Structure 1
Amino acid sequence: MGLDEVAGGVETEPAERIEAAEEMLEESGYSREAELEEDLRRVTAEYQNYRRRVDRDRSSEKERVKGQFISELMPVLDDISGARQAGELQEGPFAHIAERLETVLAQQGLERVGEVGIPFDPNEHEAIMQQASDEIEAEHVAVVVRSGYRIGDRLLRAAQVIVSSGSE
């Protein structure tokens, strides 16, 4: 009794059957190389899509974190704006620090939203009041109570404004 019989009869295909199967596959148009090339193209495309998705996700996460950080700085920016309006930040070291902070934030893409005289836009402005004004035409911003901020396309905070109702 041989070792194969004791182990359960391991079956092996004769070389002729293997060659016949390969010839049949070739006749039917099957090409192992073509299949492998197609698999390689598919895996390469999947990897490129994965890389694009990761890069896009990384970029959007970076913008989200930047927006969150700037949102936490908004009370400081409001204090700086209030001090400037009160005339307390005309010159000196604190005025210089405030300018540097605003410059750095602008370099990071922060834009102030809300200016007197521009048309009222409910997507960017929060109207807290409406009042008559001879200088500002109707449905335009008459007073900016609190500036809003945008970073890129994302509005971080709408500007609180008083809207002109036109002349009385």
Structure 2
Amino acid sequence: MDKDKNRDNQIDTDSGELEEDPREEGESQDQEEEEIPITKMTKAQLIKKVEKVQEASDKNLDLYIRSQAEIDNLKKRYQKERQDLVKFANESLIKQLLPVVDNLEKAITHSQDEDSIEAIREGIDLTLKGLTDILQKAGVKTVEAVGEQFDPNFHEAVSEMANDRVEPGSVIKDLQKGYILNQRLIRPSMVIVSKKTA
């Protein structure tokens, strides 16, 4: 036993001071228990160890359950926000289109009077202009067609027509306008393309 004390409190020959035992005096009993192999533990020590492990396990399970519930709540909130975003994504565009609908309804109401054909035409022109303005604000542009060289990226040729006044392969008629949304083609122009006369 004296040898152990000497080993724990060896004298540092250089300084003449006692070297402290590297283990702290207040080292917990738990650490001592952990250092004891399970095969050498008493029944009481084993029960105590099992209780501590069970307590740590219960804490971890509780933390897991809470974390899982929080993740589920975040998923539900994200899904609802996403659904709302999809549901109301076109709200501002629709609000801008409502005056166009109003103008068309007024045109129908006025069309019952046979003398108002010119007024109806003006109303339809104004409605079309209003709708075109809304589409432009939303990033929609028309595909340039007539006078342009046929481009399969933007034009869909429905037929060819002999024409010596323009270069072969030029678009000479736009049957249905094509549209681009923010530089992405959403509908090609349906066109007639010129060819050489035989």
TM-score, with structure 1 as normaliser: 0.45
TM-score, with structure 2 as normaliser: 0.40
Higher RCO by CA contacts (8 Å cutoff, separation 6 or greater): 1
- Larger of the two Rg values belongs to structure: 2
